[in-house]
Homo-oligomer: A and B are copies of this chain.
Amino acid sequence: MNTAGAQLAPVLNAGGPQLAELLWRTEGRLAEIAGGHGDALGRHAAGTLSAGGKRLRPVLVFLCAAAAAGDGQPAGPRVIAAGAAVELLHMATLVHDDVLDAAPLRRGRPTVYAEGGRDAATATGDLLFSRAFAELAATGSAEAVAALSAASSALARGELMQRADAWRPDVSPERYLERCRLKTASLFEASCRLGALFGERAELAPELGRFGERVGLAFQILDDVLDVSGPTERTGKPRGADLLDGTVTLPLILARERDPGLGELDLRAVAADPEGLVAVCERITATGALDESRRRALAHVESAKDALNAIELPNRAHAALELVADGVVERYA
């Protein structure tokens, strides 16, 4: 189930035929990679690779490459490689997350974990990790590989931090934000940096990277709001699913400040009781913490736009990047 269409349509319009072509060629490259590693990857990863998704990270690569190209000339195969690499890395983490969560479904399809078991899914994730780096190394840019490996380290550290903080009653908003930066925003940032590196104005990489990081923070916060607010038909998960493995996110962190009783709950007991979980979601909502969380996410979107305004970009690229930032919010409107 590709749920991307609705939010990305304006971006695709703004990006024009060039963006659509890059995305199309990236799909082709991902399919080649899936088919090029024998039965094992063919069977397990091809499904994951072809299941789609928003392709939001490749979109960031391509729009930033266009932004840094200056004269709007067609981007070369290095940009496709970067788009494929960030998507491969993203999918590697999804495959491993599904192992950790013992998840049966993702995007409406059985996960690699469900089809192949824990062992095959762990190895498939490792293979997707490896292919991400192989794809980018083929561009000949060690700087690009360094950007991807920084993001890859951050993703893993974010995952470790999340597991270390599980069930803890005292996670601060600052620590939560650092976790979002590590586990989500780092790859958004790297996607933008890679685009800039492969454009003609690599000096834009820091600002475009900042733009990506802030969009990523907003994306993660809004995702965490949606987990509490529902509706479950949109998330495909029960309300409060993050709490099932003890993940404490911004809505609960802020709600505890307003309703101290929430801070005294035994989260393991809450997680074990589906009705109790819904009641806690309602109680969080009643404090106004969801609105405050959304407000903070929007502030990150505005801050992302500020990063764009700090540099000179072609109008069309600037507009398309703003639409991506707005699309992240739209997704949750």
Contact = CB atoms under 8 A, between A and B. Distances in A.
B96 A157 contact: no
Nearest to A151: B130
A271 to B, nearest CB: 15
A146 B138 contact: yes
Contacts of A99: 122
Interface residues of A, number: 50
B142 A137 contact: yes
Residue with the greatest number of chain B CB neighbours at <10 A, chosen from A137, A153, A160: A160
Contacts of A93: 126
Contacts of A202: none
A44 B161 CA distance: 12
A131 B145 CA distance: 11
Interface stretch (A35-43, A193-201, A302-310): A35-43
Contacts of A156: 123-124, 126-127, 129-130
Interface of A: 37-41, 44, 92-93, 96, 99-100, 116-120, 122-127, 129-131, 133-134, 136-143, 145-146, 148-150, 152-153, 155-157, 159-161, 163-164
A142 B135 CA distance: 11
A119 B38 contact: no
Q: Considering the complex of A and B, which 10 residue pairs feature the smallest CB-CB distances, nearest first?
A: A40-B160, A127-B156, A134-B149, A130-B152, A137-B145, A137-B146, A126-B156, A123-B159, A130-B153, A133-B149
B137 A139 contact: no
5 contacts: A126-B156, A127-B156, A131-B149, A133-B149, A140-B142
A116 B137 CA distance: 33
Given A100-B118, A133-B145, A137-B146, A153 B37 contact: yes
A99 B118 CA distance: 9
Contact of A122 (B122, B127, B148, B153): B122
A153 B139 contact: no
A101 to B, nearest CB: 9
A164 B134 contact: no
Main secondary structure on chain A at its contact with chain B? helix
B137 A153 contact: no
A174 to B, nearest CB: 14
Contact of A123 (B119, B126, B163): B163
Nearest to A118: B100
A40 B124 CA distance: 24
A158 to B, nearest CB: 9
A311 to B, nearest CB: 26
A34 to B, nearest CB: 13
Contact of A157 (B38, B137, B138): B38
Given A123-B159, A127-B156, A133-B133, 9 more contacts: A38-B157, A38-B161, A41-B157, A100-B118, A120-B164, A123-B156, A129-B152, A130-B149, A130-B152
A49 B61 CA distance: 35
A139 B142 contact: yes
A156 B155 CA distance: 20
